[in-house]
Amino acid sequence: MIKVFVIDDSLMVRNSIIKILKDVPDIKVIGEAVNPVDAMEVFKKVGFPDVFILDIEMPKMDGLTFFKKLNEQNPTPVIICSTLVSLGSSTAIDALRLGAIEIIQKPQIGVKDFFLEQKEEFIRAVKTASRANIKYKPKVEKISNISQDDVCEGAISKSFIAIGASTGGVQVIEDILTTITPNHKAIVITQHMPEGFTSSFANRLNNLTKSKIVEAKDGEVLTNNKVIIAKGGTHMEVVQKDDTFSIRLRDFPKVNSHKPSINVLFNSISKISTQNIMAFILTGMGDDGATGLKKLKENGNETYSQDEKSCAVYGMPNIATQIGAVKEQLTIEQIIEKINNFKG
């Protein structure tokens, strides 16, 4: 039985969430509160939940402050449901880097209808969250005295690194990009993320690293010391012309239930006439990226997955390993070492 606790200052929202979850056999809402401070008193009576559904803007204590305290004291899967996580919102990125399993944008009006329409999505999110391996994420400070004006792109990359990630990936990608050495080979990343969020994600990372981080644009050339993040709501491919690799953005339906899709990225790379590519599949639910990674391995490229212990959700790496797409499973520290040592 998955025990859920709802913290939201709106009675209508709390009642709506409880209503859509109450008839699910393996889910039980054990409590509710109008804010995190009051919730702490309820915990004494009902115990601690397996999953929180958490608003952000609340009296006495806001949701992100509570989330940080939760990370420090008792890491627990959190689903953020808030009106403050609109497209491009830095609040949404902050929630994801704290380890939020799902971000759901709550509407200003039509709340009851919204929750009824999103019933299956909520149930899926709760079940995914209940299986997540949550780890404490310390705050990452901005690198002092580093301005993007001081960050230079390197030469055109003759080889590059490809990364695919989903649930929990924001934390891992931040760990990787804030630790790798400068002047690394070009990196392309597909992180499952809605449209509008990827620009904020790239901008945030630019304040934390000496790499040049950009949201993908059509025709963007892969150069050393540059990281290109797939644009939310758009598929990203890598294409080759002579000795130059560049980005091609594509608008077609979801693949493996995602847009951008990791398989779209990996499949495009598998068509490139080089074996100087290193690819990683990181934490995430589902199987996106597995078959594309296998094609890369069959073409002679180095393919790796994040290991189970360090994954928030050991879904995509597990499937990729099962089908023989992975050369080796690595910890986050080993992934960073591989990237730093990659000469192409």
Active site residues: 166, 192, 288
Q: Give dist(CA 265, CA 231) in Å, integer.
A: 12
